[in-house]
Structure 1
Amino acid sequence: MAAAAPAWTFIALFLPFLAAILAPFLVSRLGDRAAWIVALAPALSFLHFCGFLSEISAGEVATGGYAWAPSLNLSFSWFIDGLSLTFALLITGIGTLIVIYSGGYLKGHRHLGRFLSFILLFMGAMLGLVVSDSFLMLFVYWELTSIASFLLIGFDHEREAARRAALQALVVTGAGGLSLLAGLVFLWNVTGVTQLSLLVHLGDALRMSPFYLPALFLVLGGAFTKSAQFPFHFWLPNAMEAPTPVSAYLHSATMVKAGVYLLMRLNPVLGGTPAWEILLPFFGGVTLVAGALIGIRQTDLKLMLAYTTMASLGLLTMLTGFGSPHAIEAAVLYLVAHSLFKGALFMVAGAVDHGTGTRELPLLGGLRRAMPITFVAAFLAACSMGGLPLFAGFLAKEEIYAALATGNPRAVFFTAAALVGNALMFAIALAVGLKPFVGKGNQTPLTPHEAPVALWLGPVILAALGLVFGIFSPLLHAYLTSPMASAVIDEPTVITIGTMPHLGLPFGLSLLTVTLGILVYRELDRARALAAQMLEGLGPGPDRWFDQFVSGLVRFSARLVRIIQPGRLEIYITATFIAVAATLLVPLFLFDELPAMPSGPAGALVQEIAFFVIAALGIVTVLRAADRLTAIVSLGIQGFAVAVIFLLFGAPDLSFTQFMVETLSVVILTLVMTRLRLSVTDHRPPGQILLDGTIAIACGLGFALMLLKAVGTPFDPFMTDFFNTYSKAIAHGANVVNVIIVDFRGTDTLGEIAVVMVTGLAVLALIKLRVGRRAS
């Protein structure tokens, strides 16, 4: 267990947020060149996390942080092992290239500074999420990624489609965040810890708990919505309304991988059970096949890639839940390879759009001469996505089939799903990375031309890394994939697969995948028509269901508001006092907590009884008053009687306050009544009077019984002793009551003053409004 220097890690985590603050100011002065400067922030964070590679590869972990509220076991802390380090390097490394790419893609855009600020906020949120140790820190960053993605997807807010997609993503992932919060509370209550570094070693205790299934379902709710698993997948393709840099970053290294990260992080805790090994492979397999089928139907380059991301996330979920170490190793390899080739291909799609003015595949062709650098990057990334030898994608695909193809019926089913999904994704990879660049040139909105360096630098580096990691796989395994797999499995693991083909069933399935992918690519139009026919036969999907759900929710809310908010003050007051009476009385009767009636010598309370009688006479006067003004004045009798009782029991300051409140209340109410046009007497029907009287008696009885219950409990002198001891020593006041009001409860007193002030302003506004209407 190694502890890193907290200060440097803290700075590395907050560098993206600092750059997000500075980005608008730098862009306003330097234009698109500012992107190269703000890219230094994630680059420095990347270099900092590279410093952990040697110790993490040696089997150590790094923890650190700061105590926030120790009494509540809350802290700002991080936990860096092979899993979180790999994610941190992908987020900061690819993030650096995305920031540079954004400067070129949005060159001259009037809101470039705002965009860079949002993308860096997104980066900082995702980086904080994957290194979080405390549950609270994890949840805060989890929700911050949803907020940042909302801002990015709706960046072009003048278009309705962008606004709808942003709102949809926020609703779906936000609901998943609430599910995750509840799941974390379950984990906390079952295990008693709030740090992931401790939780990962408590799997047996959690799996044996009767609350295991509720915790699992709630955690899966958060992970499935974030990583777009069926049936929550529909928000992800719609997020393509965001600018291409967002799509490239979202799909390669950030938000959609957050759910997969969570599943991998909690695999030692929640994995290894029938529920885990049924739910994850099933939903992952369905998502894999559905994403590949819908993707082959598309013609927009970004949408084709978006659905393959959905399919890839399904594959990762399926592998994570499959229940074998080989499956985890395959998931780890595929996650790294996917981040590289998917980031490259999305940036290629943006470069093609920038150079031709369109992303529609039927309009593209023959671009290799006009865009040679982009073509090389696209072809290399497509080869890695297809799992061809020498590429990182080949390592992942070989390990996938080695993990799944074990011969039992369950394995055969999921192997078939992986085979179909991988073949269709290879066809899409060729359609995106090869088809636009070969064949005859088509008429495009713009004359094709090579993208500027800011647009081809990122895809070239990522595509080349996919090749380098494949050729030099021992370095990849030593520093990234083996430590990552060890963290997910929670035991030392060494991945050894290399780029040389290994004869056997996995290699045979790889050849079959490549063959099927090429066949589908050659018959792409027929495959697209067949997929469209198949999907249309299934009817409207979850995207349409979401619209219907939102529309129904809006209609239901409107009807509910008309019922509970009809605009009549007497209804609001009646409902409020019914709730007060129920809150006071129901627990007393339901749990048999009625107080014992007081007993004592009556002669000692003659004066007090006299004022109780005066208060009762005041109530009778109010009820029998001939007009409202008389009732208001008579209402003050009860307040004055209570003030005298306070005085008799030795509380003159409280009595004085009561006198002031009652006097002001009578004056203000009288003033208001004289300004409002009201009937002289009360014309309520007998039924309404009976209901109001019943509610009033119930409230009075409830308060009386609650007070009797309170004073009947043994007196605890702790607070009395505290104030008597410290009023003079701390607040320098001999009058304990004044010290309590002004110092110990100063904020409370300020709040009371504010309430009185707001009430007075409201009364003044009503009076002026009435005077204005009369004048008009």
Structure 2
Amino acid sequence: MQLAVLSGFLLAALVPLLSSIADRRLGWLVALLPAALAVWFAGFLPEVMAGQTLVHEWAWIPGLDISLTFVLDGLSLLFALLITVIGTFVFLYASAYLAGHPDLTRFYVVLLAFMASMLGLVLSDSLITLFVFWELTSITSYLLIGFNHQDADARKAALQGLFVTVGGGLALLAGMVMLAQMSGSYSLQEILVQDGLSEHPLYLAALLCLLGGAFTKSAQFPFHFWLPNAMAAPTPVSSYLHSATMVKAGVYLLARLHPAMGGTEIWQLLLPLFGATTMFVGAFLAIRSTGVKKLLAYSTVMALGTLTLLLGIGTETAMIAFAAFLLGHSLYKGALFMVAGALDHSTGTKDVTRMGGLRKAMPVTAAAALVAGLSLAGLPPLFGFVAKELLFEAVLGGSTLLAYTVTLALASAMLVIAVAAIIALKPFYGALKETPHKPHEAAWPMLAGPVVLAALSLVFGVWPGLAGDLLVQAAASSVAGQPIQVHLYLWHGINAPLLMSLASLLVGALIFWRWDGFRQRLSVLDPMIARGPEAGYFKIMDGLVWIAAWQTRVLQNGSMRNYLSVILMTFVLLVGYTLLWRYQVHWNWDLDVRLHELVVVGLLVAAAGVACATASRLGAVASMGAVGFSVALIFVLFSAPDLGITQVLVETLTVILLVLVLFRLPAFVSLSTPRQRFRDAVVALLTGGLMTLLIMKTIDVQVFPSISEYMVEQSQPLAYGRNIVNVILVDFRALDTLGEIFVLALAAMGVYAMLKLHPGTEPGSNLRAGSLILPRREDDVADDQSKKDPSAVDEGRTS
């Protein structure tokens, strides 16, 4: 199982090598991996149909009790088959759709990583590994959406999708941490069998964070706007993204957590509310669009809202409808997106209003579009009809927001029927319209996916028991957390769901017939829609830019004095407030200070004062050296000769290095103003005073037993050394000492490089002996040229 998940990453690493060998057959070669994985996953159908859950565990980080564990049950197997089967056709499709593209190799690399990330997400048992793969899907989808990086719209859409999904990912991470604290485990298999999680004090906060991650990933209202904009990606990416992969990741997470987190009042309120709203918003925005990919993208938003609504209802019928709708949507949406790409590829336009009469030039594409479109509309004998009937039955059986969800479900079904007719009928039937390119049938790799996926929609519709036995029952049982018996039929008799389907069919047909006028009337809502959630997103981004500009101008302005002041004052305010106002502090002023100790302290203070007041760099370095040597003397006086020797060596080396560097630097250009010096003095006094109080307070505080006894006892038996300080530095704190040595060596190499850098050794060198010269501006160059040749002024400034 681990190899099956990671094989996509392994093959992605080999694609650049294979591209030089396979050349134009690279797409077919790469498609063999998802095809083989699909066959391999299909081999687990008997066990999963029998109710078994297969667990494969591999110790990843044993010290932290983190394992790479993958679980295969009904839900994860359904997703794995959709990812691999549709992925096979997507790779074949891309081999023809992007044939001759200069970056095709890069496309295959990222798409393979995307497929592997999605497989890892749906199969992961650990919350940690699930989150890793979750973020990998965001990163790889960003690269895929922005694949045509020369296009500004593609870059903009990729960034938008990344910001929205990664922002939700941060909320998801917080929710996962709280979920692990609530359950005491990071394993989903252990979390899902626990009772009482809904009564935990962290339940509401964890649920809201988890919903934030799922809603942003699956484009729930008000985060729905990023998904249609992601249509800037190549059509193979859009087909994969919408049918089987990233956008369904949020829905998968909600379905996976349903047994543990679902069933509560807040769950049954939020999911139907946002799901039904998203369902209607997606259908409404779809009917306003004329681009064939935009029509499909908004219908995907509708489908994602439908799946969320069903999870919120939570009944057995809703779980069956969830699994059936998930399967049906993946089949017809994958086919229709490939049809949309074939239309664009063959006609040179994406605008459905500019297409018509293409049935004779593209007969296979027209047939696949008709079958898949009928399934999208929910008409018999397609599997989409079975799923829609279950949807209506589940909505009618709900208990929360019943009138709201039933009304929006019926209205959405009406609009979706019109959308399906626009996609499946308008480009292929009616009078032939002139298009930028002469229409022609697509190559067979571009037709294989639509034909097979549309055929599966027809087979599962005519024989729904096949889909129910193979996939729907096991998936619905996994979502419900208990066995569910599924019996799918094409005809349930005359009932309320059938009447709702007939009503939606009549109204949808009327909308399609009057679509042009209907769309024009809806244009009055354009100003309101323009002020919707996407406008809020852009305002947030503008606010972030403003905050970044402010903090760069005020805080990170390149002034070291400013950086130190901000850091130190933040330290003083936070630590000082905590120390003085939140705790009862009792100071011990009974100090035993002797005369010679006061003399050393006075020398130290005097040296520090001279270092602050002198106008000479050399004098400042000498004064700071005196401060360091005074500290070394204090170490000696208090029986720490080893620290004293170390301090002397460090200070000596520091003074020597600084003096050598000073010969390369100019004198002080200007001193601080009195106001700046007063401000710096206040910051220094507050920081020093707070540190003094902290040291005095912590002298008498011992939270843990002293480790010194252990060092004394174990120095000789464990490290074979009698010099305890040396043993501590070389053995017990070896990595710390190594780090210090590395830092010192790095500083020494830097100083050596500065000393060896002579003027003229490299072109454009800005260093001269005894001074520091700033880079010359172009205006300066032009002025120099004008002195030699006045006629060259304009040319020099222009250059």
TM over 0.5: yes
2:388 counterpart letter in structure 1: K
d(CA) in 2 for partners of 1:394, 1:375: 20
2:628 counterpart letter in structure 1: G
Partner of 2:313, secondary structure, is coil
Match of 1:415?
406
Partner of 1:437, secondary structure, is coil
1:749 equivalent in alignment to 2:737: yes
d(CA) in 2 for partners of 1:128, 1:93: 16
d(CA) in 2 for partners of 1:215, 1:374: 47
1:614, distance to aligned residue in structure 2 (A)? 4.0
1:640 equivalent in alignment to 2:629: yes
1:635, distance to aligned residue in structure 2 (A)? 2.9
Indicate if the aligned counterparts of 1:31 and 1:108 stay in contact, CA closer than 8 A. Answer: no
d(CA) in 1 for partners of 2:386, 2:538: 41
d(CA) in 1 for partners of 2:611, 2:421: 87
1:551, distance to aligned residue in structure 2 (A)? 2.3
Superimposed CA distance per residue, residues 291-341 of structure 1 (whole angstroms, 9 cap, x where no aligned partner): 111111211111110110011111111121123221222121111000000
1:535, distance to aligned residue in structure 2 (A)? 4.2
5 Å-filtered alignment, 1:617-656, equals 617-619=606-608, 622=611, 629-656=618-645
Partner of 1:417, secondary structure, is helix
Structure 1 residues 76, 364: closer, same or farther in 2, change over 3 A? same
Match of 1:457?
448
Match of 1:657?
646
Structure 1 residues 496, 512: closer, same or farther in 2, change over 3 A? same
Residue range with higher mean Cα deviation, 96-105 or 28-37: 28-37
Match of 1:446?
437
Structure 1 residues 744, 434: closer, same or farther in 2, change over 3 A? farther
1:771 counterpart letter in structure 2: R
Match of 1:6?
none
1:427, distance to aligned residue in structure 2 (A)? 1.7
Indicate if the aligned counterparts of 2:282 and 2:302 stay in contact, CA closer than 8 A. Answer: yes
Match of 1:197?
189
Residue range with higher mean Cα deviation, 746-755 or 726-735: 726-735
Indicate if the aligned counterparts of 1:15 and 1:45 stay in contact, CA closer than 8 A. Answer: no
Superimposed CA distance per residue, residues 540-566 of structure 1 (whole angstroms, 9 cap, x where no aligned partner): 322233223222321232122211133
Gaps of 5+ in 1: 1-8
Structure 1 residues 153, 621: closer, same or farther in 2, change over 3 A? closer
d(CA) in 2 for partners of 1:270, 1:705: 49
Match of 2:82?
90
d(CA) in 1 for partners of 2:399, 2:646: 82
d(CA) in 2 for partners of 1:672, 1:689: 25
1:158, distance to aligned residue in structure 2 (A)? 0.1
1:654, distance to aligned residue in structure 2 (A)? 2.5
Match of 1:529?
520
Superimposed CA distance per residue, residues 668-722 of structure 1 (whole angstroms, 9 cap, x where no aligned partner): 444455544445996642x544443343333333333333444423496674455
Partner of 1:78, secondary structure, is strand
Match of 2:287?
296
1:588 equivalent in alignment to 2:585: no
Match of 1:4?
none
Structure 1 residues 721, 120: closer, same or farther in 2, change over 3 A? farther
Partner of 1:321, secondary structure, is helix
d(CA) in 1 for partners of 2:337, 2:209: 32
1:647, distance to aligned residue in structure 2 (A)? 3.4
Match of 1:18?
10
| Equivalent in 479, 495, 512 of residue 486 of structure 2 | 495
5 Å-filtered alignment, 1:98-177, equals 98-177=90-169
1:193, distance to aligned residue in structure 2 (A)? 1.7
Indicate if the aligned counterparts of 2:383 and 2:457 stay in contact, CA closer than 8 A. Answer: yes
The alignment of Structure 1 onto Structure 2 pairs a total of residues equal to 764
| Equivalent in 656, 664, 669 of residue 667 of structure 1 | 656
Structure 1 residues 327, 664: closer, same or farther in 2, change over 3 A? same
1:64, distance to aligned residue in structure 2 (A)? 2.4
Partner of 2:510, secondary structure, is helix
1:701 counterpart letter in structure 2: G
Structure 1 residues 406, 412: closer, same or farther in 2, change over 3 A? farther
1:454, distance to aligned residue in structure 2 (A)? 0.6
5 Å-filtered alignment, 1:694-709, equals 694-709=682-697
d(CA) in 2 for partners of 1:681, 1:172: 48
1:625, distance to aligned residue in structure 2 (A)? 5.8
1:290, distance to aligned residue in structure 2 (A)? 1.4
Partner of 1:712, secondary structure, is coil
Partner of 2:436, secondary structure, is coil
d(CA) in 1 for partners of 2:752, 2:474: 69
2:252 counterpart letter in structure 1: Y
5 Å-filtered alignment, 1:385-400, equals 385-400=376-391
d(CA) in 2 for partners of 1:186, 1:565: 34
1:667, distance to aligned residue in structure 2 (A)? 3.1
d(CA) in 1 for partners of 2:598, 2:56: 66
1:754, distance to aligned residue in structure 2 (A)? 3.8
d(CA) in 2 for partners of 1:113, 1:124: 17
When the two chains are superposed, the root-mean-square deviation of aligned CA atoms in Å is 2.8
Indicate if the aligned counterparts of 2:114 and 2:137 stay in contact, CA closer than 8 A. Answer: yes
Match of 1:66?
58
Indicate if the aligned counterparts of 1:584 and 1:706 stay in contact, CA closer than 8 A. Answer: no
Superimposed CA distance per residue, residues 212-232 of structure 1 (whole angstroms, 9 cap, x where no aligned partner): 221121111111111111110
Gaps of 5+ in 2: 758-765, 777-799
TM-score of the pair, normalised by structure 2: 0.89
1:403, distance to aligned residue in structure 2 (A)? 1.5
Match of 2:463?
472
Give percent identity, aligned residues only.
Answer: 43
5 Å-filtered alignment, 1:509-524, equals 509-524=500-515
Partner of 1:440, secondary structure, is coil
1:713 counterpart letter in structure 2: V
d(CA) in 1 for partners of 2:580, 2:398: 65
Superimposed CA distance per residue, residues 227-272 of structure 1 (whole angstroms, 9 cap, x where no aligned partner): 1111101100000000000000000000110111111112222222
5 Å-filtered alignment, 1:354-365, equals 354-365=345-356
Indicate if the aligned counterparts of 2:381 and 2:490 stay in contact, CA closer than 8 A. Answer: yes
Partner of 1:77, secondary structure, is strand
TM-score of the pair, normalised by structure 1: 0.92
Indicate if the aligned counterparts of 2:666 and 2:772 stay in contact, CA closer than 8 A. Answer: no
5 Å-filtered alignment, 1:719-738, equals 719-720=707-708, 723=711, 735-738=723-726
Indicate if the aligned counterparts of 1:251 and 1:306 stay in contact, CA closer than 8 A. Answer: yes
Indicate if the aligned counterparts of 1:341 and 1:462 stay in contact, CA closer than 8 A. Answer: yes
1:396, distance to aligned residue in structure 2 (A)? 0.5
Structure 1 residues 732, 101: closer, same or farther in 2, change over 3 A? farther
1:755 counterpart letter in structure 2: V
Indicate if the aligned counterparts of 2:313 and 2:400 stay in contact, CA closer than 8 A. Answer: no
1:381, distance to aligned residue in structure 2 (A)? 0.7
| Equivalent in 339, 342, 367 of residue 348 of structure 1 | 339
d(CA) in 1 for partners of 2:702, 2:532: 63
Residue range with higher mean Cα deviation, 302-311 or 273-282: 273-282
d(CA) in 2 for partners of 1:732, 1:467: 79
Partner of 2:59, secondary structure, is strand
d(CA) in 1 for partners of 2:201, 2:92: 50
Partner of 1:64, secondary structure, is strand
Indicate if the aligned counterparts of 1:595 and 1:712 stay in contact, CA closer than 8 A. Answer: no
| Equivalent in 29, 35, 48 of residue 56 of structure 1 | 48
d(CA) in 2 for partners of 1:16, 1:621: 65
| Equivalent in 19, 23, 36 of residue 28 of structure 2 | 36
Match of 1:329?
320
d(CA) in 1 for partners of 2:404, 2:382: 27
d(CA) in 2 for partners of 1:348, 1:91: 19
Partner of 2:441, secondary structure, is coil
Indicate if the aligned counterparts of 1:28 and 1:113 stay in contact, CA closer than 8 A. Answer: no
Indicate if the aligned counterparts of 2:354 and 2:433 stay in contact, CA closer than 8 A. Answer: yes
Partner of 2:221, secondary structure, is coil
Match of 1:3?
none
d(CA) in 2 for partners of 1:756, 1:436: 72
